[in-house]
Structure 1
Amino acid sequence: MSDSPSASSDAPPRNEAQRPRVSVVMATYNRLALLPRLLQQLARQTLPPSDYEVVVVDDGSKEPAQGPLEALAQELPYTLRVETQKNAGAAAARHRGVLAARGDVVIITDDDMQVPEDFVQRHLEQHPEGSRHVVLGRIDPDPAISDMPLFERWYAYLHDRLARRLHEEGAHGWNLYTGNVSFRREDYVAVGGFDPSLKQSEDIELGIRLEKAGCQVRFCNDSYVLHGSDHTSFEKWLARAHRYGIMDSRLSERHSDVPQVDPWRMLFEMNALARPLLATAVALPGPTKPVTNALMGAAKLADRLGLKQVAFKSTSVAYTMEYLRGARAEAGSWREVARRIARYRQASAQGAEGFPRDAGKDSSGAP
């Protein structure tokens, strides 16, 4: 399969007159109540308002965002542009936003983030003239994290652990996440942009293509966002884990030379005590569902008792069980499961030039 996504990457012509240096792009879906907070924070940036613009793409929200946002735009010092489309997913929405962007540098963030006053400037400083950088910024938890469900606090814990490792060891394309990233628009267009056929992990897949195309992936610890969450459903959280297992399987088929994105790595990277549970989730996907629910029950109890590490470890195992059920569903047959596991083992043992074998843990789509 080709590394390029199926969506057209033909960019519309841009007006060069008074073109901003930076475009901040975000997709939104049914979060009209949250957007003004972020847009107002972007109004207080240290850069002159003429140096940046904001492009919001409404991905078919039930309450259209265009009217209220265009009214808000009259109060903002920078140019705010709103694009609308039928619901097609975050990848398609972000792709549309980047193509509509007029800045040479594009920053992507999410509609539920909060940003400091130097957010745009910090990213711009990472893209000196002639560079081809992909810059990941830090994602810190919202101060109200203690009020969030356990699974969202677990995500925040993973982001914190990932940030420490990227700061110490450096970043790669498979670490890319869309909550806080910047790159040159021309590099994005050259590799074809986000693949809308991937409903999860489209960020990692884009990062791999950008790195393979010669971009240098960097981590900027000083460019941070605060991440809150309005996700409260345990069932939706499990469904998302299942989708990640499916989409990471497709991603691995496309980039079989990058073992860090292969979902079957979890059978070998997780704690040895957890591996029998993971194996049973693959062998008996349906009958082991109650085990996953029981694990989350134990995690919540540990959380109430103040046993944070026990709660997070139990949550991680529960997530990974559902993640591997997704990978198992995508594989279909036992013969195909065996083939994919064998392929991962071979790729992991051989390594891939420029892709260290131990750097793929804690990526945005993986437990």
Structure 2
Amino acid sequence: MTRPTLGAVAIGRNEGERLKACLRSLVPLCERVVYVDSGSRDDSVAFARSLGVDVVELDTSVPFTAARARNAGAEALLAGGDLDLVQFVDGDCRVEPGWLEAGTAAMQADPELGLVTGWRSEIHPTATVYNQMCEVDWHRPAGPIVACGGDMMVRAAAFRRIGGFDPTVIAAEDDEFCLRLGKAGWKLVRLPVQMTWHDADMTRFGQWWQRTIRNGHGFAQVGRMHPPHFRREKLRVWAYGLVLPLVFLLGLFTSLWLSLAALGLYALSFWKTLKGLRGQPMAARQAALLTLAKIPNLLGMLTYFRRRHRGVAMHIIEYK
């Protein structure tokens, strides 16, 4: 059988050395590579061009989204000639040697596969508790999946058939894309293979807080577009981000037992989370942040509802 042709789309903004590592891991192994830049102020564009990579610079007058960037990259990539497969990768990730071959082989072996992904890991997982939380979050079981993150290999025919990514989705746009891909009849699989190395580079609480607000926005927006996706996540946000704080405050004015009961439920959630993280670095700090996360998640959900009610554009929520 003829080996499928493969191109790659990398997206980024001010990624510096991370982008350089990303592009260097793609260029030798792909027929063509496109880099989509969202208003970088560093030398990202010049470096990409020095490697012979095609560059798309997004119009800064239109709100940036990862979905918009990936669509622009895919359009430019496929305009250069037919390709069978497209590897999407974020500019803060480098691709593991061997992944592109493994993904291509899997797609070649099963024509019903619309998407394959693999395992993403942090380059510096224990540098901060926030990096370690990403490391834990990235590791999911191999096998058939419903959704995955932005690092993915997609069949070009499947991408075209569903119209690519939805550029109005500012968070969890990869989930939204995958859900439409599955509904169109394509199979999605996570291979038990290392795919990419990610550099979260989160060093401050404020970065984590903003990222968690963005996640909440994704829960609300994509959950509304594809019910019941994110149903469990949204219920937990309502319970721990809104109901329990209100119960705690009510107890301060009526009965302290109510406040103590609310604190007890938070303590129980913390203990269960800590138990699930047993053996992980900084487990207690991770559990505390995950317990707290429902509050910024709620802020993100409310931000979506407010934007939708007012009919305003869904601007990206940046965290670094």
The two structures share one fold, judged by TM-score above 0.5:
yes
Residues in 1 aligned to 2:10 and 2:248: alpha-carbon distance in whole angstroms = 40
Whether the 8 Å contact between 2:120 and 2:198 is mirrored in structure 1 is yes
2:172 to 201, 213, 234: 201
Letter in 1 for 2:42: E
Q: Is 1:108 paired with 2:88?
A: yes
1:91 to 67, 87, 102: 67
- Say how many residue pairs are matched: 272
Letter in 1 for 2:222: L
Whether the 8 Å contact between 2:240 and 2:294 is mirrored in structure 1 is no
Aligned to 1:308: 282
Letter in 2 for 1:114: R
1:131 to 86, 107, 112: 112
- Runs of 5+ consecutive residues of structure 2 not aligned to the other structure: 250-262, 275-279, 310-320
2:129 to 147, 150, 164: 150
Give the alignment's Cα RMSD to 1 decimal: 3.2
Evaluate the alpha carbon distance shift between residue 276 and residue 229 of structure 1 in structure 2; reply closer, same or farther with a 3 A threshold.
Answer: closer
Q: Is 1:279 paired with 2:243?
A: yes
TM-score after normalising by structure 1: 0.66
Letter in 1 for 2:120: I
Q: How does 1:177-326 map to 2 (within 5 A)?
A: 177-178=149-150, 180-256=151-227, 258-260=228-230, 263-267=233-237, 279-281=243-245, 308-326=282-300
TM-score after normalising by structure 2: 0.74
- Runs of 5+ consecutive residues of structure 1 not aligned to the other structure: 1-19, 46-50, 74-79, 269-274, 286-290, 337-367
Evaluate the alpha carbon distance shift between residue 44 and residue 116 of structure 1 in structure 2; reply closer, same or farther with a 3 A threshold.
Answer: farther
Deviations 1:157-199 (A, max 9, x none): 1212xx2xx32x6311xx2210x21111121122121112111
Residues in 2 aligned to 1:259 and 1:25: alpha-carbon distance in whole angstroms = 27
Point out the more displaced range, 88-97 or 235-244.
235-244
Whether the 8 Å contact between 1:109 and 1:181 is mirrored in structure 2 is yes
Secondary structure of residue in 1 paired with 2:96: coil
Residues in 2 aligned to 1:233 and 1:114: alpha-carbon distance in whole angstroms = 23
Letter in 2 for 1:81: D
Residues in 2 aligned to 1:236 and 1:282: alpha-carbon distance in whole angstroms = 26
Deviation of 1:61 after TM superposition, in Å, equals 1.0
Residues in 2 aligned to 1:69 and 1:307: alpha-carbon distance in whole angstroms = 36
Residues in 2 aligned to 1:68 and 1:136: alpha-carbon distance in whole angstroms = 27
Deviation of 1:153 after TM superposition, in Å, equals 1.0
Secondary structure of residue in 1 paired with 2:137: helix
Whether the 8 Å contact between 1:27 and 1:94 is mirrored in structure 2 is yes
Aligned to 2:148: 176
- What is the identity percentage for the equivalent residue pairs of Structure 1 and Structure 2? 20
